[in-house]
Amino acid sequence: MRARDVVFVDGVRTPFGKAGPKGIYAQTRADDLVVRVIRELMRRNPQLPPERVGEVAIAATAQTGDQGLTIGRSAAILAGLPRSVPGFAIDRMCAGAMTAVTTVAGEVSQGAADIAIAGGVEHMGHHPMGEGVDPNPRFLSEQLVDTSALVMGQTAENLHDRFPAVTRERADRYAYHSQRKLAAAYARGKIQPGLVPMAVRSAEQGWGLATADEPPRPGTTLEGLAELKTPFRPHGRVTAGNSAGLNDGATGCVIAAADFAAELGLPARMRLVDYQFAGVDPEVMGIGPVPATEALLARNDLTMDDIGLIEVNEAFAVQVLAFLDHFKVDDEDPRVNPLGGAIAVGHPLASSGVRLMIQLAAELAERPEVRYGITTMCIGLGMGGTVLWENVNA
């Protein structure tokens, strides 16, 4: 059969929380975050018969505890989807949700499913990065990777070494603008439509409702950023202020065949054109989006000038700036993360890919003059991923 066009129908996420005992989700299960997202997607799209969902793919970097047990399948059951709906778990570290989307898109394109739910979750408060991991000693004994490759903050410092034009001052300034853009987006009501309120519980305070992201620091100043310590290297350049934090949260979206979405009266917010993943040296994993994006643009006979919106995950400011420098895009180009990015809103690892898509879809809806947008991110152990989207409103 001929491959079918694949569209992004809808996406939602929980508010992102700060990881740790004082975070809003400290006493909330990771799988309950996913269940809330799935239920909200179904509530928002009543035209979608639950039995027609052909797949549920949920990513988590830590495949254990309350985000283990083949979480795509277990969350589907917990969310009340019919037992006939299959599901699976996926792990590509930070690009987990992005890979969940591209994977189910393949199923939809080939006709194995008409519609699917894809997303990700990370509860870094319950499962700190690297929990339970036992790296093979050959990585270091045979010098397959540098010792810094397994510490993401150190890989960011390595990027500063490789690209001296990306200074601490530039990184801090980029982080400052990310905070300002997110605050402005909240003030204009641009973030709230993509959020689903999440019930939370505290043994001390009882039940509450999370309705907004916890990590943003709208009062951030350049002076304050300049005073922060550099935990990954003495006199380094990577700080808590110019990096994403440790966060909890879940995301999800509905991916469908364009003809099936039209048949059911579901909205098509953007069309998935193509995608690319690429590998790089693990010790400079932040440069991963560059080769992924280069290959994707070349295959589609495009340049960065053809891309009207760029949603790039801000794991570290240096990683974003290295990407922008490579493609000769200005640090404050209005195409880049117009609603703010992960430095401000948070980065719950495997969930972040779909957050990028939610924000891109929202911006494309208001910009019919923009034909193409991308979502792109660096990935631990030396990878990058980029997805090319076409505006159906163009």
Position 306 in a domain? yes
170, 253: one domain: no
Q: Of 229, 253, 270, at which residue does a domain stop?
A: 270
294, 183: one domain: yes
- What is residue 205's predicted lDDT score, i.e. its pLDDT? 83
Cα–Cα dist 102/110, whole Å: 12
159, 74: one domain: no
pTM of the full predicted structure? 0.97
22, 56: one domain: yes
Position 135 in a domain? no
What does the pLDDT look like over 113-166, one tens digit per residue? 999 999 999 999 999 988 888 999 999 899 999 989 889 999 999 999 999 999
- Please count the CA atoms within 13 angstroms of the CA of 154 that sit on its side-chain side: 10
- What is residue 260's predicted lDDT score, i.e. its pLDDT? 96
Position 198 in a domain? no
- What is residue 111's predicted lDDT score, i.e. its pLDDT? 96
Residue 50, Cβ neighbours under 10 Å: how many?
13
Local structure of 143: helix, strand or coil: coil
Position 207 in a domain? no
- What is residue 393's predicted lDDT score, i.e. its pLDDT? 83
Stretches in the chain below the pLDDT threshold 70: 1
19, 70: one domain: yes
318, 289: one domain: yes
278, 266: one domain: no
Position 138 in a domain? no
Cα–Cα dist 122/126, whole Å: 9
- What is residue 1's predicted lDDT score, i.e. its pLDDT? 65
Question: Which among 243, 253, 26 has a CA at the least distance from the CA of 120?
Answer: 253
DSSP class of 377: E
For the chain, how many structural domains are there in total?
2
Are the C-beta atoms of 118 and 248 separated by less than 8 Å? Answer: no
Rg over alpha carbons for the chain, rounded to the nearest Å, is 20
Residue owning tokens 């603008």 = 177
358, 277: one domain: yes
Position 224 in a domain? no
Domain of residue 306 covers 144-192+237-242+273-389
Position 83 in a domain? yes
- What is residue 301's predicted lDDT score, i.e. its pLDDT? 98
What does the pLDDT look like over 41-98, one tens digit per residue? 999 999 999 999 999 999 999 999 999 999 999 999 999 999 999 999 999 999 999 9
Bridge partners of residue 90, in order along the sequence: 59
Position 200 in a domain? no
180, 317: one domain: yes
Tokens of 67: 């985000």
Question: Which among 234, 239, 197, 202 has a CA at the least distance from the CA of 217?
Answer: 239
- What is residue 131's predicted lDDT score, i.e. its pLDDT? 85
266, 286: one domain: no
323, 363: one domain: yes
CATH of the domain at 251: 3.40.47.10
Residues serving a catalytic function are 94, 347, 378
150, 104: one domain: no
